């Protein structure tokens, strides 16, 4: 599929209220009206960032994963976003990519935000994850990962980077600048979906979700508050950009160590 119709949901996440968030996001998904291939939700969309402190984390067979699959079955589309998952005595900020057939891929956030205490609550992931959907190679990344270009580096192995976040207002300029930079340096589509509203810790989130082309052009940039929009991505733009500007062949070789 050369065109990927992607629905971005910039939602105001309720604090520590998984059921309420599922109902609210269901309403946002239903209100759009148009058909889409992939919907992208913010980071920790059931609780807010570290909003699970007073409640048990979910498991992979819990209500949110089940809800995601039902949404996919109902809309014949994929759904992506992160939630807190408990597994083998550890908590993970896990980015799930779900289709009507179930969880197709998942990525545990590698760079935990120590400045906000995330490293004290969760276990860091160790593997970089790229999944294929409708002919697109999709790289899954979460919030703080955006600051680490080596982790995000294209190795001719992905066409689209999904970056989901709870990125606060005080550093929103960094969010916008780094999303554009990741698109330019990796010659890939980049979608960044941030939350809106205010969380239980008093942090304000201005949204500013965006879509950038492999040339770094801005196809969509959201303002403040809740918004949703479908953006059509063209796969041929990746090949054309890399063919016309073959910068990747001059990239430095390196290895990542966990």
Q: What are the pLDDT digits (tens) for 209-223?
A: 999 999 999 999 999
Q: How far is CA 25 from CA 5, 79, 199, 207, 236, in A?
A: 18, 11, 16, 16, 31
Q: Is 143 a catalytic residue?
A: yes
3-245: CATH homologous superfamily? Carbon-nitrogen hydrolase (3.60.110.10)
Active site residue 43: yes
Set 43, 58, 118, 180: catalytic member:
43
Asked whether the whole model's pTM tops 0.85, one would answer yes
Span 175-189, mean pLDDT? 98
**pLDDT score, position 68:** 98
- How far, in Å, CA of 161 to CA of 171, rounded? 21
Residues 6 or more apart whose Cβ sits within 8 Å of residue 67: 22, 26
Q: Which of 58, 72, 118, 143 is catalytic?
A: 143
User: What confidence tens digit (pLDDT) does each residue in 8-67 have?
Assistant: 999 999 999 999 999 999 999 988 778 999 999 999 999 999 878 777 779 999 999 999
Catalytic residue among 109, 118, 152, 180: 109
pLDDT tens sequence across 117-157: 899 999 999 999 999 999 999 999 999 999 999 999 999 99
Calpha distance 31→225 (Å, rounded): 16
């Amino acid at each position: 599929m050369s065109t990927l119709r992607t629905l971005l949901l910039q939602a105001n996440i309720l604090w520590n209220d998984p059921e309420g968030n599922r109902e609210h996001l269901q309403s946002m998904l239903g209100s759009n009206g148009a058909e889409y291939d992939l919907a992208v939700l913010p980071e920790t969309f059931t609780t807010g960032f570290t909003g699970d402190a007073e409640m048990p984390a979910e498991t992979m067979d819990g209500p949110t994963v089940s809800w995601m699959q039902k949404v996919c079955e109902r809309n014949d589309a994929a759904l992506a976003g992160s939630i807190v998952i408990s597994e083998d005595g550890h908590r993970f900020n896990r980015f799930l990519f779900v289709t009507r057939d179930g969880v197709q891929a998942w990525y545990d956030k590698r760079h935990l935000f120590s400045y906000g205490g995330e490293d004290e609550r969760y276990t860091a992931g160790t593997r970089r994850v790229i999944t294929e959907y409708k002919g697109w190679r999709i790289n899954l990344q979460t919030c703080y990962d955006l600051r680490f270009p080596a982790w995000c580096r294209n190795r001719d192995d992905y066409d689209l980077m999904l970056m989901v976040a709870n990125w606060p207002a005080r550093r929103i300029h960094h969010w916008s600048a780094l999303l554009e930079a990741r698109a330019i340096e990796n010659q890939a589509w980049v979608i960044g979906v941030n939350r809106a509203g205010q969380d239980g810790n008093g942090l304000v989130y201005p949204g500013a979700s965006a879509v950038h082309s492999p040339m770094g052009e801005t196809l969509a940039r959201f303002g403040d508050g809740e918004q949703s929009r479908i953006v059509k991505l063209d796969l041929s733009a990746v090949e054309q950009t890399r063919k016309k500007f073959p910068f990747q062949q001059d990239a430095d070789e390196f290895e990542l160590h966990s």
